[in-house]
Amino acid sequence: MHDKTIAELSAALAAGEFSALELTQALLDRIGAQNPALNAFITVTAEQALAQAREADAKRAAGEAGPLTGIPIAHKDLFCTAGVRTTCGSKMLDNFISPYDATVVEKLAAAGTVMLGKTNMDEFAMGSSNETSFYGPVKNPWNPETVSGGSSGGSAAAVAARLVPGATGTDTGGSIRQPAALCGISGLKPTYGRVSRYGLIAYASSLDQAGPMARTAEDLALLLNAMAGFDPRDSTSVERQVPDYTETLAASIKGLKIGLPKEYFGEGLDGEVGKAIEAAIEEYRRLGAEFTEVSLPNSRLAVPVYYVIGPAEASSNLSRFDGVRFGYRCENPRDLEDMYKRSRGEGFGEEVKRRILIGTYALSAGYYDAYYLKAQQVRRLIREDFVKAFEQVDMLLGPTSPTVAFRLGERRDDPVQMYLSDVYTIAANLAGLPALSIPAGFAHGLPVGLQLIGRDFDEARLLNAAHKFQQATDWHAARPEGY
């Protein structure tokens, strides 16, 4: 059962091959056996999962089942879950139990999914390797000495290791796509505003976007069908009709115009990763796609722009964690000021503190115009580059990450090198565009991710292009040894 995709599990449940209860118990047993080595889960919700599975079986018996009824999933541990601990990978929220469900959690539960637990992540979604978590790093199932990517590394590792067929993640600068690439699975960052952020603990509000992670583009489409849609509780949610993303999956891509940004194929790209992407391009040519070189001249500024805007918004969002209302509070404070300082100093990890300090500096009097305002102006130029490129092509293609998964600890003491892990993914967040990563081969024995970036709200076309590639290749079916 554990090796089936969401689409295959849905068909098997409908055919009565096994029940949702049997499937859930099998995956809970698998998590119990495999998770200690991976550290992919922070919390496992076994009792709740079994109750939801029984409910799913009852709905199926009553003829009320949908495509996701009885499908087990996991949620990244920054989605609020009523009655279940939501830690954000931080000591600061180690004891926080949310009184309500995030909209994404609510929608997927309404679709009949079964929540197996909450997955590990970089603290407050700040990281590219899942090494900043208070609960320790997540190991990559392909090689436990390498990182799983971040910040949604727990979700990526859990899907890759067949502990769960699908999971949720969030993407602020590549945090769905980069771990998906490093762990050899598929992951989608929707258009900003397509999926509600209500109940998602914020890192950078103008960049964060929730999305699905699974083994195939078909599975991403099934999950996105349930996740997408307008939410009046989220002021950044877009009121726009949601299509059925599975309807056009199998459409021909003959004549599809794909742009190759020259900035994504130059210095910094690992040679073996580049070869895998070139092979994928040839496969797309065989499928009838047409390629044009395009330029995103301001993309070289995406990393510095992101590391001004992201930390600036984080310094504002994280000011609420002060030891007063909820979360961690220091022992025996002398006075109010001591409580603030020590609660934040002890509750936040090093990377979170670094970004709060950078963001506070960028927003301070005398520096706002020089840094934050300038970054927002360059952000507009980055988006205009994409708009211009999409006048010539339907979507863009390139590597998701410049390298395969790197060794645990290798970049921990070099923040700049770590930040460059997201050099190809950040621009899509700054522009608010949809983008996905799918497996496209191996380099140095580890998975390589292929990234597709589309126009606003063009997720259906991205999923179609990804699905056709996966019908013609089997990289998405590769399984880590031992799993």
Strand stretches in 56-174, DSSP E: 72-76, 114-119, 139-140, 143-147, 166-171
Structure tokens at 207: 């960049």
SS3 state at 21 = helix
Residue 81 confidence (pLDDT): 98
DSSP 361-387: HHHSTTTTIIIIIHHHHHHHHHHHHHH
Q: Which one of 10, 133, 155, 175 is the catalytic residue?
A: 175
Whose tokens are 């459409």? That residue is 251
Residue 88 confidence (pLDDT): 98
* Closest to 438 measured CA to CA, from 476, 465, 402: 476
Residue 414 confidence (pLDDT): 86
Residue 206 confidence (pLDDT): 97
Evaluate if residue 191 carries a pLDDT over 90.
yes
Q: What percent of the chain has pLDDT over 70?
A: 100
Evaluate if residue 200 carries a pLDDT over 90.
yes
Residue 29 confidence (pLDDT): 98
End-to-end, the C-alpha distance of the chain in Å comes to 13
Evaluate if residue 412 carries a pLDDT over 90.
no
Please report the domains of the chain, with CATH numbers, ordered by start residue: 1-483 (3.90.1300.10)
Structure tokens at 24: 């859930």
User: Residue 445: how many CB atoms within 10 A of its CB?
Assistant: 10
Residue 413 confidence (pLDDT): 84
Q: Strand 139-140 and strand 209-214: pairing?
A: unpaired
pLDDT tens, position by position, 288-324: 999 999 999 999 999 999 999 999 999 999 999 999 9
Rg (CA), the chain: 21
Evaluate if residue 195 carries a pLDDT over 90.
yes
* Closest to 224 measured CA to CA, from 171, 172, 268, 188: 188
Structure tokens at 6: 């969401």
From 120-134, 246-260, 404-418, the region with the lowest mean pLDDT: 404-418
Q: Which one of 10, 76, 107, 468 is the catalytic residue?
A: 76
At 152, the pLDDT band (50, 70, 90 cuts) reads very high
Report, as an integer, the average pLDDT of 417-446. Answer: 96
pLDDT tens, position by position, 210-222: 999 999 999 999 9
Amino acid at 267: E
How far is residue 86's CA from residue 98's CA, in Å, rounded to a whole number? 6
Residue 170 confidence (pLDDT): 98
* Closest to 263 measured CA to CA, from 308, 293, 291, 290: 293
DSSP 326-356: SS---SS-SSHHHHHHHHHHHHS-HHHHHHH
How far is residue 387's CA from residue 419's CA, in Å, rounded to a whole number? 25
Decide if 4 is catalytic. no
Q: Which one of 151, 196, 237, 299 is the catalytic residue?
A: 151
Residue 97 confidence (pLDDT): 96
Q: Enter the pTM of the model.
A: 0.97
Q: What percent of the chain has pLDDT over 90?
A: 97
How far is residue 237's CA from residue 220's CA, in Å, rounded to a whole number? 20
At 277, the pLDDT band (50, 70, 90 cuts) reads very high
pLDDT tens, position by position, 30-55: 999 999 999 999 999 999 999 999 99
What are the φ/ψ torsions at residue 193 (nearest 5 degrees)? 100, -10
Decide if 175 is catalytic. yes
What is the overall mean pLDDT for the chain?
A: 97
Residue 433 confidence (pLDDT): 98
At 365, the pLDDT band (50, 70, 90 cuts) reads confident
* Closest to 163 measured CA to CA, from 30, 3, 13: 30
How far is residue 190's CA from residue 433's CA, in Å, rounded to a whole number? 7
Beta-carbon contacts of 127 under 8 Å, excluding residues fewer than 6 positions away, are 133, 150, 151, 351, 418
Decide if 341 is catalytic. no
Residue 187 confidence (pLDDT): 98
Q: Helix and strand tally (H, E) in the chain?
A: 15, 13
Evaluate if residue 96 carries a pLDDT over 90.
yes
